[in-house]
């Protein structure tokens, strides 16, 4: 059942549109690399596009397509393109919209590799980039050049939790005929709908909230238009950035509980953020559910809820942060985010360690920044764990 009028949780469970000929309630795992044609004529028609049949799993597979349709439905887009990882999804977008002589404008705080590849790899292929503080729309306006062919945002950004105004930036970009891509990993479509706010493309590391169980790595791109969908699907197929059917099946299962997992994690995160904000050893905290967040008003307008990601700094900087991380017991000291378990990590030495000191300084990734992905455990247990770890500082 694909009814667009159904609520989010109903669509998270049912959207995707796959009807199993044997009546299986769950889409089976089509663990096959290739598909048999009925005859030579059928094979030719599948290749020419006259018929919709499956050909080869890198090009398309029923288990993967069901997930693509489900995420596209939840994001309100034309179509989804599954990818082997979030970074494969980022590269699908970069390769589809950029090339020799083209220019990217992006927010200065992104997941480390999304920025690092633009500074270390893409210049080899003639791509230029400008990273600006996109929380101020004027900075984006000033960075646009005649050859700008993509504006790339991540909001809330990893790890600074900076929030950019998707609607205002999309309006500005469209005055210059520039498409906008939003990495929606920190929110998922449950909390934020970039395409409805004017963006053209939305992408996810589905490794995070969409799958939610820390047991796969996967990505997804959703486009608003058929034209962009075709461009990006061609990149995915020809670069071999495809998902695997088993990975798609696990992700589709995780997606069914996205809304209820986020409700719980976010409720916990609000209480954890209030605890940290009042803690004498915490110097600063950034969480969109606290009035102290610099874009609190924008977050309220743009997001359905503040999410489950918190960044904070301890008095005593790096030494204090490391000490705290060495003493947590319930929270796992691990990178990644958006799972059912609480995770804690130190971006300057872990996820963002490949960025230059200057890039870290400009993006606000200080040595003392600690990032917390709040899970669905009992909130008293999460707070008690953080409290005992803070006592070691």
Residues with catalytic roles: 58, 111, 183, 208
Residues of the shown chain interacting with ligand LCS in the complex, contacts defined by CB under 6 A:
85-87, 90, 111, 114, 154, 158, 183, 185, 205, 207, 217, 219, 335-337, 351
Name the closest residue to ligand LCS (Cβ): 86
Provide, rounded to whole angstroms, the least separation between the CB of residue 337 and ligand LCS: 5
Residue 122 or 144: the one with the smaller Cβ distance to ligand LCS is 122
Q: Which is nearer to ligand LCS, 86 or 259 (CB)?
A: 86
Kindly state the smallest distance separating residue 384's Cβ from ligand LCS, in Å: 25
- By beta-carbon proximity to ligand LCS, the closer residue of 144 and 185 is 185
Question: Considering beta carbons, is residue 164 or 185 the nearer one to ligand LCS?
Answer: 185
For residue 172, the minimal CB distance to ligand LCS (Å) is: 22
Q: Would you say 309 and 337 are in contact if contact means Cβ atoms under 8 Å apart? A: yes
Contact 101, 149 (CB under 8 A): no
Instruction: Please report how close the Cβ of residue 192 comes to ligand LCS at its closest, in angstroms.
Output: 13
Residue 371 Cβ vs ligand LCS, minimum distance, rounded to whole Å? 7
């Amino acid at each position: 059942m694909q009814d667009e009028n159904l609520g989010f949780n109903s669509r998270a469970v049912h959207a995707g549109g796959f009807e199993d000929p044997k009546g299986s309630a769950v889409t089976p795992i089509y663990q096959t690399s290739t598909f048999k044609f009925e005859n030579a004529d059928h094979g030719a028609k599948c290749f020419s596009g006259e018929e919709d049949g499956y050909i080869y799993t890198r090009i398309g597979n029923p288990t993967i397509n069901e997930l693509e349709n489900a995420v596209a439905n939840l994001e309100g887009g034309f179509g989804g393109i599954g990818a082997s990882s979030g970074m494969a999804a980022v590269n699908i977008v970069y390769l589809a919209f950029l090339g020799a002589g083209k220019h990217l404008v992006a927010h200065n705080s992104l997941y480390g590799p999304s920025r690092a590849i633009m500074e270390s790899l893409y210049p080899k292929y003639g791509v230029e980039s400008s990273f600006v503080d996109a929380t101020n729309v004027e900075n984006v306006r000033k960075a646009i050049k005649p050859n700008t062919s993509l504006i790339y945002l991540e909001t809330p950004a990893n790890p600074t939790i900076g929030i950019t105004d998707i609607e205002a930036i999309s309006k500005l970009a469209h005055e210059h005929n520039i498409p906008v891509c939003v990495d929606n990993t920190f929110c998922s479509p449950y909390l934020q709908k970039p395409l409805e706010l004017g963006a053209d493309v939305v992408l996810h590391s589905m490794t995070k909230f969409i799958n939610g169980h820390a047991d796969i790595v996967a990505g997804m791109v959703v486009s608003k238009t058929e034209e962009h969908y075709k461009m990006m699907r061609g990149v995915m197929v020809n670069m071999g950035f495809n998902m695997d059917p088993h990975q798609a099946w696990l992700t589709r299962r995780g997606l069914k509980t996205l809304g209820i997992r986020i409700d719980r994690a976010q409720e916990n995160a609000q209480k954890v953020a209030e605890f940290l904000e009042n803690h004498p050893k915490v110097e600063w905290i950034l969480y969109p559910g606290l009035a102290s967040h610099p874009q609190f008003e924008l977050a309220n307008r743009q997001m359905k809820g503040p999410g489950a990601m918190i960044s904070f700094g301890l008095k005593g900087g790096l030494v204090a942060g490391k000490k705290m991380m060495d003493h947590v017991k319930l929270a796992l000291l691990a990178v990644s985010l958006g799972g059912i378990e609480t995770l804690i990590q130190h971006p300057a030495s872990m996820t963002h360690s490949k960025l230059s000191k200057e890039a870290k300084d400009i993006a606000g990734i200080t040595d003392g920044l600690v990032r917390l992905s709040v899970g669905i455990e009992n909130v008293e247990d999460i707070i008690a764990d953080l409290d005992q770890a803070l006592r070691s500082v």
